[in-house]
Amino acid sequence: MGEAIVITSGKGGVGKTTTTANLGTSLALLEKKVCLIDTDIGLRNLDVVLGLENRIIYDIIDVVEERCKASQAMIKDKRFDCLYLLPAAQTNDKSALTPEGMIEIISELKSDFDYILIDCPAGIEQGFKNAVAGADKALVVTTPEKSSVRDADRIIGLLEQEDIEPPNLIINRIRNHMMKSGDMLDIDEIMQILSIDLIGIVADDDEVIKATNHGEPIAFQPNTKASIAYRNIARRILGESVPLQNLDQKVTFIDKLKKVFGKN
């Protein structure tokens, strides 16, 4: 029996879709059978981030309205055999999907997959309600900005009213030097306000944008900070205890020397 996890944030543009794609990839790398569901009807992106846009034939609305089976709408990832995507429709709007429809699809998929990751649209309206309906767990994504923390707080409040486990937090797009200088909210401040469990921190990395534009999730590359962060979160989802990443730049002996001589 699989587990359905919704990835949500309230505010737009904090990295829900990127997180979904990368956690899906990371879980697939750990040889779990994963299905990603895009519930952002009308504004689908997850297929683009995964580079699967050209493979879409049916979408989730076709499944709900019984024009096809869920297995027909599902797209197999080009890199893994155990990663699938159920894409959103681009022509309908959010009202085409209902919470009941979602519950039905997810309960059907749970028997086939280890993890079902649901990419939630921004906002707190119908789209959010649909995305949360079938989920067992929730991950809340926020960035170290006041506006995004505020929206995350609102979303956590709404999630607490749902019948799911207490949500976990991912802090995305951390710029270490700004956090240190106090120009960005630091992790402790965010945790104090939101007071839920932290499941991972992800550094802001240009490579993420590059990878997204190539339709290749960053988690696929082994050596960037962001990909390690996503892989760590995936391992924590599996129940492993992995220490939080140290975001400090490594200071080499040469750097120290340069500092001593005032060159940098």
Partner 1 sequence: MNYIAENEQPIRIRVELGNRYISTQQEEKLKEMFANQQNFIVDHIISNVILKQTALDWKDDTAIKLYNKIIRSGQVLNVIGDLLLIGDVNPGGKVVATGNIYILGHLRGVAHAGSDGNKSSVIAASYMSPTQLRISDIISRSPDENAGGMMECGFIDPSSDQIIMDRISHLARTRSDLSVFERRIING
Give the residue ranges of the annotated binding site for ATP: 11-18
Residue 153 binds partner 1, judged by CB under 8 A: yes
Site for partner 1 contains 151 (CB under 8 A): yes
Whichever of 76 and 146 has its CB closer to partner 1, that residue is 146
State how far the Cα of 214 lies from the Cα of 208, in Å rounded to an integer.
Answer: 10
State the Cα–Cα distance between residues 34 and 26, nearest whole angstrom.
Answer: 10
Cα of first residue to Cα of last residue in the chain, in angstroms, is: 55
Cβ 140 to partner 1, closest distance in Å?
Answer: 11
Beta carbon of residue 120, minimum distance to partner 1 (angstroms, whole number)? 17
| Sole binder of partner 1 in the list 154, 177, 180, 258 (CB under 8 A) | 154
Minimum CB separation from partner 1 for residue 156, in Å?
A: 6
**C-alpha atoms less than 13 angstroms from C-alpha of 69 in its C-beta half-sphere:** 4
Tokens of 222: 């082994």
Q: Is 193 in the site for partner 1 (CB under 8 A)?
A: yes
Residue 156 interacts with partner 1 (CB under 8 A): yes or no: yes
Residues within the annotated binding site?
Answer: 11-18
Count of residues binding partner 1 (CB under 8 A)? 11
Residues near partner 1 (CB under 8 A): 150-151, 153-154, 156-158, 160, 192-193, 195
